[in-house]
Structure 1
């Protein structure tokens, strides 16, 4: 008699904008990894403009990125609207800002909920190093 243990795969979430070239490049890299290693992890794709991250998700992501003291680092500032010292000062303010104007959120963000790690994948090539660091890819 043989049996297989029911092992749950870790879940990685890509916080993603389908209109963003960097997001699409990151998604392409992740799909290639999964083609080569289909049992490495399960990929969850979150279109943050349709469904912004929740307050709890943002709190965890900020902790995983180790940016609790500078919440501006999770915001895009290409237009110069977020001045130093003027951004959100709490997770609640960050949550409200992202709900009001989701495009302000940095993207893409790749999150490993099980290992408590996240990365802002800019440039997209940072994903390979992140996956190696987490043990999903071999050197």
Structure 2
């Protein structure tokens, strides 16, 4: 596979598990630590279009300033919400993975398997001890 990119937060267990699954499949992705290097508004728009989701679907509430910023209020436009993500990148839910087979918010972590073009993988043990079984479900 030519290029895999993960928008990664190393402090997030789900993000670490997704990165581990990608590597378990034999790939070394391009890692974008989006808290250090946030995607531009244009990059966010592109990711959203590729995933087929709206800005609100990408927002993370837990562990973010979502509530204190009043982002549940429907008055905020998509452009304003993108501005908030630019100002507070922690608002972007993670991990987002892009491969030639698609782009997806990979929660739970085994969702990344749809984006990997390999045959069935050996079981993978996540950080919490749960085993991920690859059932061979792939896109494309």
Q: Normalising to structure 2: TM-score of the pair?
A: 0.72
Report if aligned partners of 2:5, 2:32 keep a CA contact under 8 Å in 1: yes
The equivalences for 1:1-139 within 5 A come to 10-34=2-26, 43-67=29-53, 70-78=54-62, 81=67, 82-83=71-72, 85-90=74-79, 93-112=80-99, 114=100, 117-131=102-116, 136-138=117-119, 139=136
TM-aligned CA distance change 1:87 to 1:22, over 3 Å = farther
User: Which secondary structure does the structure 2 equivalent of 1:118 belong to?
Assistant: strand
Higher Rg: 1
Measured after TM superposition, the shift of residue 128 of structure 1 is 1.1
Which residue number in structure 1 is paired with residue 123 of structure 2? Answer: none
Structure-2 separation of matches of 1:88 and 1:30: 34
- Extract unaligned runs of 5+ from structure 1: 1-8
Bigger relative contact order, structure 1 or 2, given CA contacts below 8 A and separation 6+?
A: 1
Which residue number in structure 2 is paired with residue 3 of structure 1? Answer: none
CA RMSD of aligned residues (A): 2.0
Structure-2 separation of matches of 1:44 and 1:99: 21
Structure-2 separation of matches of 1:129 and 1:83: 31
TM-aligned CA distance change 1:14 to 1:127, over 3 Å = same
User: Which secondary structure does the structure 2 equivalent of 1:119 belong to?
Assistant: strand
User: Which secondary structure does the structure 2 equivalent of 1:125 belong to?
Assistant: helix
